[in-house]
Amino acid sequence: MSEKATIRVLCVDDHEIMRGGIRYLLLAVEDVELVGEARNGEEALNLCETLRPDVILMDMRMPGMDGTQTTQLIRERYPDIQILILTSFDEEELIQQAMQAGAIGYLQKGISVDELADAVRSVHTGKPTLSPEAFHVLIQSSVPQPQKPDFDLTDRELQVLEMLVQGFSNTQISNRLVITVATVKYHVRNILNKLGAANRTEAAALAVQHDLVPNS
């Protein structure tokens, strides 16, 4: 019997009770392992080097280096690590800062263990996972255009963009379109540049806003 790969998770939160709660919740999830805990951004950076987690559960407001700064530094140094914001705050500015820093998900604390586990699995595969509030902010924060903008996307780029909206990873896109992962990354870079998007999550939000891909 083959074993399912375990998703390695690092929890970053300055509240010990919150870290303990996440620790307890994840004990019930077979394919997710909490490999470390950090009280602040500095500790998180150090643990990334030694533990190499797959996913980080990141609080936004912490003493010293906050969640935005920590997310940006981790994404710059360890681009393979996906970051899911797990916070009590849903202010528009915080959501925008988190997404611009490179987070792929933004959820409110207090979600169930099943919701948390599903979110970890989703972001691990590169699928954006947003609370309704966060998704609304991303849509509303896009600069309004008097006309439907022409982003000059090629047919292939539109195909890739549609799969980004559906949450497919680069590998999944590669398999479906029968192209290399390197080619997928090339198309994703072009899409981000043409849309003026900071990351895949923002690109997906813009695609939905401007009806660039068919409704699924």
d(CA 111, CA 104): 17
Side-chain-side CA neighbours of residue 82 (13 Å): 23
Position 81 pLDDT exceeds 70: yes
Q: Using only C-alpha atoms, what is the Rg of the chain?
A: 17
Hey, how many other C-beta atoms are within 10 angstroms of the C-beta on 115?
Answer: 14
149 pLDDT higher than 80: no
11: which strand partners?
37, 57
Q: How far apart are CA 195 and CA 81, in angstroms?
A: 24
Residue 91 has pLDDT above 60, yes or no: yes
Domains and CATH numbers, the chain: 7-140 (3.40.50.2300), 145-209 (1.10.10.10)
Split at pLDDT 50, 70, 90, the class of 130 is confident
pTM exceeds 0.75, yes or no: no
Judged against a pLDDT cut of 90, whether residue 178 lies above it is answered with yes
Question: Residue 68's closest CA among 36, 93, 51, 47?
Answer: 93
Predicted pLDDT of residue 1: 36
Distance CA 61, CA 48 (A): 19
DSSP H helices, 52-148, are: 67-77, 92-101, 113-124, 132-141
pLDDT digits (tens, 9 = 90+) for 20-60: 999 998 998 999 999 999 999 999 999 999 999 999 999 99
